[in-house]
Amino acid sequence: MWYTFTAISWQQVEGVVPGVSETPKDGDLIEIFFLGFQHWAVCVGHGYVVHVVPSGQFAGAGVSGLKCAFAKTAMVKKELLSEVAGKHRYRVNNKHDDKYKPRPPNTIVQLAMEKVGKEVPYSLIFKNCEHFVNELRYGVSRSDQVFQVPAHLTQVRCS
């Protein structure tokens, strides 16, 4: 289901979306839809999420633009989902629960909170926001957005 956030309650916006949890809980992954890409965060309770923001960016700016592609570091932030998503659509999407065993919710939240305020390595292809949340939930760093990039765009050729 698609959700919108009002104060600290979740509300259904649209119909059912396959593979998506119906009620957000601590440790759930939140997929936010920006133009041309998704941003990912992890729910830590009371309307807050933890996510990475590439250096030189802030959540309200949409976590996008040229700076995002070239950033080498990111800041881990705890912010209200309503501020991170703005007017963009988002949903709970624990899409790899069938492939990987999720950590217990309290462990996910604890790991996320330990990272808040820290600067971490960032790479649009190898260490982005989706890698970050999957590492927290499953202990596996992966990004399906990157898997969708044609292989020739991710290879570096030295002459």
Q: Which runs of E-coded beta strand occur in the chain?
A: 3-6, 9-12, 29-34, 37-45, 48-54, 73-80, 90-92, 119-121
Of the listed 39, 43, 68, 131, which one is catalytic? Answer: 39
Q: Any catalytic annotation for residue 39?
A: yes
Catalytic residue flag (residue 51): yes
Q: Which residues pair with 119 in a beta bridge?
A: 75
Strands 29-34 and 90-92, by their bridges, are antiparallel
Identity of residue 118: K
Catalytic residue among 43, 68, 129, 131: 129
Catalytic residue among 43, 51, 68, 131: 51
Is there a catalytic annotation at residue 129?
Answer: yes
Which residues are part of the catalytic machinery? 39, 51, 129
